[in-house]
Amino acid sequence: MTGSSREMARPFKELWRELGASRDFFAVQGLPAPAPEATPEAYFAALGEAVLIEAGCSREELAARFGKFLAALGRIDAAPPVVASMTVRGGADKRGRPETLDITLVPGDVVALVGPTGSGKSRFLADVEWLADADTPTGRRVLLDGAPADAARRLSLSGRLVAQLSQNMHFVMDMAVGPFLCAHAESRLLADPDRAAAEVTALANELAGEPFDAATPLTALSGGQSRALMIADVARLCASPVVLVDEIENAGIDRRRAIALLTGSGKIVLVATHDPLLALLASRRLVFSGGAVAHTLETSPAERRALAELAALDAVLTRAREDLRLGRTVAAHKETH
Amino acid sequence: MKCVTVAGPPSSGKTSILLKAAAVLAGRGQRLGVVKFDCLASRDREAFAAAGVPAVVGLSGALCPDHFYVCNAADAFAWGARQGLSILAVESAGLCNRCAPHIEGVLAVCVVDSLSGVDTPAKIGPMLRLADVVAVTKGDVVSQAEREVFAFRVRRVNPRATVLFVSGLTGQGADALAHVIAAAPETPTLDGATLRFTMPAAVCSYCLGQRRVGADHQMGNVRKMDFSEVAP
């Protein structure tokens, strides 16, 4: 209690210097903005009756609430969760048969998730996100750094452990690329948001076929540009140690570079895909069936050779698409194998 | 019985995420029931019935929906107890964004839609500010970056709250939501409980059915806006 009363006797300008977001309290509560030289003690004592009626509580309650707000702000954890390894131990399939699965993933690993709709891929992801501890329908256990997470860690990691890149996702904010990336960098409390934003824009441009800049509105980006921006943003600005990629559409995005960008940023990458170019980039793939992982396959040398052939085929298609986009006639590119 | 208040703007996904959480809780042998306060007829009762979730819908009709809620909260609790529920969820749409149904000592959940714009967390008011848990919905269709910016703005408004992403469509995040709901404190009764925030004052002529516009027809608790010209 002495700690909070000390805060109450310090001028607002000092509090704001240490906890910038403490200013938000007054705007959000609809209270008049305090003078920088005033102390919270003096400010709350001087609040008028009309303001108190609007706020719906007494001076003492408001002051106590501000104290709690300051304390909670100090606890907001902007530091990225660090995960050296993630282990998933099998549970049971929909019919109760045991699942033979014991996989450990470290930063830089890429694993493909394959199997028809309803085979259990989404449930697998849900288990990873919630750090299942034999308490979900599958009975799986997910360990971080070899140990199960306690309830507090599970809740604090909820929504922060796994970042997602899905075909169903769109940018919906009415902002331009630059200011939006700055807002994202600020939410990570990064020291130089402008530089981070410029870096992400440059990276996204390397991935996308068509260039865009910081002034382009988010909602004006093409499908390929949006996806490229989402990938670059997750790689550079997102703190989550695990990334789930749910397909990457073939919209002029260099998929190999996209995955390399994510692994290069120290992410554990899970790719739910039936695109051979993506799936074979993974060193292992989990084959889902009946709600559980039926096999774990290593990408074989023969598959790696197949990947090279498929990539050449993809290059032919990409050239033809580019011809069409630029208004040229599609040339017959003769490939010799 | 445990009790939880679930508040959020209309169409933010309150009913959908309650249905998903109810399914997870049912799997653990816990029975969740819902009393939903609404102002106009909705089909949610059928949705709850189809999912086997005991539910009552109360329509406020011509009354202030939030006052209607407080007047019936203790009765709702008694109904839940009679039904033998493990957990009673009291759902309400704080229609003017100033209201909050949250009660001291009762787990308070606020539901916000991530499609509703990045300034929404600052606009919602006590319903979000005084919540213990903020469930952010529809995150499965917006970019990761927007989700993170949205969650950050929620935390700035309410740094105490646990922020969860829950999809009413896919059920993603329902495990975490069910977990926090199941961890709610036991509520012996709502009789004599205290609201976390005052309800908006009422009682003017329009509360009593007046329909005519203009100063001659206004009585009671009336407040006038300042329309004085600002010097150019």
pLDDT of residue A81: 84
Chain A residues closer than 8 Å to B159 by CB: 21, 69, 72-73, 75-76
Instruction: Tell me which residue range forms the domain holding B52.
Output: 2-182
Asked if residue B190 belongs to a domain, the reply is no
- Would you tell me the crossing angle of helices B144-157 and A177-187 to the nearest 10 degrees? 50
Tell me if B159 and A230 make a contact (CB, 8 A cut-off): no
Mean pLDDT of B138-162: 89
What is the per-residue pLDDT across A196-253, written as a single tens digit (0 to 9) for each? Answer: 999 999 999 998 878 999 999 999 998 889 999 999 999 999 989 999 998 877 667 8
- Bridge partners (DSSP) of residue A284 are A111, A298
- What is chain A's mean pLDDT, rounded? 88
Provide φ and ψ at A128, rounded to 5°. -65, -45
Using 50, 70 and 90 to split pLDDT, how confident is the model at A333?
low
DSSP E strand boundaries for chain B:
2-7, 32-38, 55-59, 87-92, 107-113, 133-137, 162-165
More confident call, B112 vs A51: B112
Using 50, 70 and 90 to split pLDDT, how confident is the model at A1?
very low
- In a mutagenesis test of the A interface, which of B98, B175, B181 is the best target, namely the one with the most A β-carbons within 10 Å? B175
* Token duo for residue A28: 């959000």
Q: In whole angstroms, give the CA distance from residue B116 to residue B119.
A: 8
Tell me if B142 and A172 make a contact (CB, 8 A cut-off): yes
Domain count, chain B: 1
What is the per-residue pLDDT across B79-97, written as a single tens digit (0 to 9) for each? Answer: 999 999 999 999 987 666 6
Chain A residues closer than 8 Å to B115 by CB: 172
More confident call, A78 vs A174: A174
Tell me if B143 and A237 make a contact (CB, 8 A cut-off): no
Asked if residue B169 belongs to a domain, the reply is yes
Q: In whole angstroms, give the CA distance from residue A247 to residue A199.
A: 24
Q: Shortest Cα distance from B71 to chain A (angstroms)? A: 19
Q: Chain B window 5-64: which residues touch A at a Cβ cutoff of 8 Å?
A: 27
Residue B117 has pLDDT above 70, yes or no: yes
What is the per-residue pLDDT across A188-197, written as a single tens digit (0 to 9) for each? Answer: 878 788 999 9
Q: What angle do CA B222, B224, B230 make, to 5 degrees?
A: 175
- Bridge partners (DSSP) of residue B113 are B137
Residue B1 has pLDDT above 60, yes or no: yes
Mean pLDDT of A110-119: 94
Using 50, 70 and 90 to split pLDDT, how confident is the model at A78?
low
Strands A102-105 and A242-246: unpaired
State which of A25-29, B16-20, B148-152 shows the largest mean pLDDT: B16-20
More confident call, A74 vs A135: A135
- What is chain B's mean pLDDT, rounded? 87
Asked if residue B16 belongs to a domain, the reply is yes
Tell me if A56 and B126 make a contact (CB, 8 A cut-off): yes
Q: In whole angstroms, give the CA distance from residue B112 to residue B57.
A: 21
pLDDT of residue B94: 66
pLDDT of residue A3: 44
Q: In what order do the strands lie in the sheet with A162-166?
A: A162-166, A242-246, A268-272, A110-114, A284-289, A292-298
Mean pLDDT of B157-175: 89
- Bridge partners (DSSP) of residue B88 are B3, B33
Reported residue count of chain B is: 232
pLDDT of residue A72: 76
Q: Hey, what domains does chain A have and what are their CATH numbers?
A: 2-75 (no CATH), 86-299 (3.40.50.300)
Chain A residues closer than 8 Å to B148 by CB: 184, 187-188, 238
- In a mutagenesis test of the A interface, which of B70, B128, B148, B164 is the best target, namely the one with the most A β-carbons within 10 Å? B148
Nearest to A234 among B136, B144, B156 (CB): B144
Q: How much is the ipTM here?
A: 0.82
Q: Shortest Cα distance from A280 to chain B (angstroms)? A: 25
More confident call, A88 vs A315: A88
Mean pLDDT of B125-153: 91
Asked if residue B107 belongs to a domain, the reply is yes
Q: What angle do CA B219, B224, B225 make, to 5 degrees?
A: 160
Tell me if A56 and B198 make a contact (CB, 8 A cut-off): yes
Asked if residue B27 belongs to a domain, the reply is yes
pLDDT of residue A255: 86
* Token duo for residue B73: 């909260």
Asked if residue B196 belongs to a domain, the reply is no
Q: Chain A window 178-237: which residues touch B at a Cβ cutoff of 8 Å?
A: 180-181, 183-184, 186-188, 226, 230, 233-234, 237
Least confident of B57-66, B116-125, B139-148, B197-206: B197-206
pLDDT of residue B126: 85
pLDDT of residue A82: 87
Nearest to A155 among B153, B160, B176 (CB): B176
For residues A112 and A287, the answer to whether their CB atoms sit within 8 Å is: no
Least confident of A216-225, A317-326, B96-105: B96-105
Provide φ and ψ at A26, rounded to 5°. -75, -40
Q: Chain A window 136-165: which residues touch B at a Cβ cutoff of 8 Å?
A: 136-137, 151, 154-155, 158-159, 163-165
* Token duo for residue A327: 């208004």
B217 touches chain A (CB under 8 A): no
For residues B199 and B66, the answer to whether their CB atoms sit within 8 Å is: yes
What is the per-residue pLDDT across A34-58, written as a single tens digit (0 to 9) for each? Answer: 998 999 989 999 888 888 877 777 8
Using 50, 70 and 90 to split pLDDT, how confident is the model at A85?
very high
DSSP E strand boundaries for A115-258:
141-144, 162-166, 242-246
Residue A281 has pLDDT above 80, yes or no: yes
Q: A291-321 burial string, b = 16+ CB within 10 Å, else e?
A: bbbbeeeebeeeeeeebeeeeeebeeeeeee
pLDDT of residue A2: 37
Tell me if B172 and A126 make a contact (CB, 8 A cut-off): yes
Chain B residues closer than 8 Å to A168 by CB: 140-141
pLDDT of residue A65: 82
Q: What angle do CA B224, B230, B232 make, to 5 degrees?
A: 165
Least confident of A125-139, A158-172, B22-36, B209-223: B209-223
Provide φ and ψ at A213, rounded to 5°. -130, -175
More confident call, B2 vs A77: B2
Q: Shortest Cα distance from A128 to chain B (angstroms)? A: 11
Nearest to B164 among A125, A159, A168 (CB): A159
Q: Chain A window 289-318: which residues touch B at a Cβ cutoff of 8 Å?
A: none
Least confident of A84-98, A142-156, A292-306, B86-100: B86-100
Nearest to A173 among B27, B118, B162 (CB): B118
B162 touches chain A (CB under 8 A): yes
Which distant-in-sequence residues (6+ apart) come within 8 Å of A33 by Cβ? Answer: A23, A26, A27
Asked if residue B126 belongs to a domain, the reply is yes
Mean pLDDT of A302-330: 90
More confident call, A103 vs A10: A103
Asked if residue B204 belongs to a domain, the reply is no
Residue B116: CATH number of its domain? 3.40.50.300
Residue A156 has pLDDT above 80, yes or no: yes
- Longest CA span, chain B: 67
Tell me if B126 and A21 make a contact (CB, 8 A cut-off): no
Using 50, 70 and 90 to split pLDDT, how confident is the model at A335?
low
Neighbours of A166 (CB within 10 A): 18
